[in-house]
A and B are shown apart, each in its own frame.
Chain A
Amino acid sequence: MTAVLALLIGALLGTAPGADEHLLAGANAFREERFDVALVEFRVAQALGAPDAATYAATTLVKLGRPEEAVESFGPGDGPGQDPLTDYYRGLACYEARLYQCADRLMAAVGDRAGPRIAGLASDIRGKAAAALAGAPSTDTIDWYLSRCSAEKKAGRAVLSAAYCREAAGLSRRTKG
């Protein structure tokens, strides 16, 4: 958590005017584990133009147990980024949203870059994702991901919709392969 805070505080340097106090308030609330307050502050900072606020809001959404919204808030694509800790939380969001292939990709990229504790947690998630992905996926499973893809698209959550579609495509390849 201190690493997350360091990132947040570091990000303040490049923040839009007016948004910095909300980012800071969000970081303080996050440290105090008042995640509802942290999310509100990060959302306000995001609305005021803070470039990374959406990522911090997404991390907070993971903490609040809202993984689907977190996936949406992390933004498009599911490849690893520069920051391993963000990758970890993004991978966790994917895992909890049942996007196991996405989770596996991101957790694999975390590796040892975020220290031994996060590496251990990432390894645990990879193990669980591997267990969930063991065996050939059934048609019902793939259909479920496709239906989520369609439903999220209709709900206007394009990033989450695309993530479910990618998961379905990946599972489909596993069936054929």
Chain B
Amino acid sequence: MTALLLALVLAAQPSPCDPVQPAPRADPAAAASYRTVGDAERASGARDTATTAYRLAASLDPADPDSRRALRELCETEGAAAVDPFRRGVERMERGDLREAVADFQAVRAARPDAPSALLEGVCLYRLGDDRGAEPAFHAAEGDPEVGDTARFYLGLIALRRGDSQQAAPLFDGLVASSGYGLVAADMALIARRSGIFTVSALATVGWNSNLTLAPNGYANSGAADGNASIAASALWRPLGESGPYARVSGAYQQQFSLTAFDSGSGSAAVGWQLGHADRALVAEYAYTFSTLGGAPYLSSNRLLGSGWLTFGSFTLTGTYLARFESYMSVYEPFSGIFQWAELRGAWWFGPFSRLGLGYQLGADGTNVNYLSWIEQGPHADFFLQLGRSFRLGVDGWLGFRTFGAVAPGPGVVRADTYLAGALLAEYDLGNHWTLQANLGARQAWSNLPQFTNFAFVPSVGISYLAGF
């Protein structure tokens, strides 16, 4: 957008340095009139109109020395004019020198109201995270027919950042008919209605697992498959909006149709703080989770998580680390210990509707029993594609190499596994809050111990609800 604006600015300004073509018929009297206007415009500091007038004068009277001299002087000072604040601001903005660019745009606006300068000043401040400073600048630009839509789009983004979905949604709605923002604005309006200071979500699914018990490949596993129904819900409170403290509670329960020993449930509460916004932020979070399996207590865990991301143009680099202190119960107690996991991920946006993510993950489970401990690492990739206003597709793939910590007592060797997992997700929005989901998941495990080589196919369909207040 900034390149376009700069191009418009450059294209709109006649250069006093360009050669003047003589008119087909000389008219010294008319030339004198143009020269007079040129003198007046030049005296008032209007360089462009002065240039236009002098060029017309010189064209109509090639012998006129005054207009040519004036053009020569304007040409000689063009270098100085090239550093006019707006141009310099655009160049600095494109280099990423946002604070300096803001000063340039403010200098333009101090001289006269200028909507493009106001818009770009607002964009710079928005990128710097100074929403309070950006808002008045966008308000100054929103009435302009050329840049008003962009200004209103950014005002919507700012409202979204502070969790004010009531203000954000109408701003995006108003841009749905805009040629430049139609589909993106529709998306943002939807996001606005699904976010806010307080958000609630719920998901109900029906699914099937071809190998719930992880029966080894090649073994008769007709009893390993089972269907299930699940429900999950969560509530998130962010009193200061996107950037600031937050608290979340969530719960989930999955009921197996036959293998009820695998019925699972969990309840979780978390508090955290996000410092920053969608383009760059740091997050710290503590969460407590209690889980059941087969109707009996299964796991109590405390988790610490830190994450941060930085955006450079259409690329976002994200780093995440978590440590989970796990206390398993009953027969699962030997699995207790500390689980750690980290990922470094890069995501590229190809336009507003498709994104490719590539990452590398490292996990370590330090259990009380060393032969159950393991270290795992491997790549992860995901791709997201928005097709039209309501339909989204996602593909996810992961390859993991896991090595256990010690020789297992029975087999007499150190177990080593390789996992390949993939999923295809399709979502279709049913209005502002409801979404249909379909998920096709598959997971293959290979192990040097044959009993751990297995495959599972896990399809599911569901419906979710998400609303922000």
Contact = CB atoms under 8 A, between A and B. Distances in A.
A37 to B, nearest CB: 5
B113 A96 contact: yes
B260 interface: no
B63 interface: no
B34 A65 contact: no
A128 B143 contact: yes
Given A43-B37, A44-B33, A36 B114 contact: no
Interface residues of B, number: 22
A47 interface: yes
A44 B34 contact: yes
B53 interface: yes
Interface in A65-92: 65-69
A40 B49 contact: yes
A36 B48 contact: yes
A66 B34 contact: no
Contacts of A96: 112-113
B55 to A, nearest CB: 9
B36 A47 contact: yes
A119 to B, nearest CB: 15
Interface in A103-151: 124-125, 128
Contact of A36 (B36, B40, B44, B52): B52
B30 interface: yes
B22 interface: no
Interface string B75-115: 00000000000000000000000000000000000001110
Chief secondary structure at chain A's binding surface: helix
B175 to A, nearest CB: 16
A148 to B, nearest CB: 13
Contacts of A47: 33, 36-37
Contacts of A9: none
A39 interface: yes
Contacts of B49: 36, 39-40, 64
Contacts of B34: 40, 44
A67 B36 contact: no
B53 A40 contact: yes
B181 to A, nearest CB: 19
A11 interface: no
B52 A66 contact: no
B135 to A, nearest CB: 13
Contacts of A68: 112
A119 B45 CA distance: 34
A144 to B, nearest CB: 13
B14 A36 contact: yes
Contacts of B114: 65
A37 B52 CA distance: 6
14 contacts: A22-B33, A36-B12, A39-B49, A40-B37, A40-B49, A43-B41, A44-B34, A47-B33, A47-B36, A47-B37, A65-B112, A66-B46, A69-B44, A125-B143
Interface of B: 12, 14, 30, 33-34, 36-38, 40-41, 44, 46, 48-49, 51-53, 56, 112-114, 143
5 interchain residue pairs of minimum CB distance: A43-B37, A40-B53, A44-B33, A36-B52, A36-B49
Given A39-B49, A40-B41, A64-B46, 12 more contacts: A36-B48, A40-B34, A40-B52, A43-B53, A44-B34, A47-B33, A64-B49, A66-B46, A66-B112, A67-B112, A96-B113, A124-B143
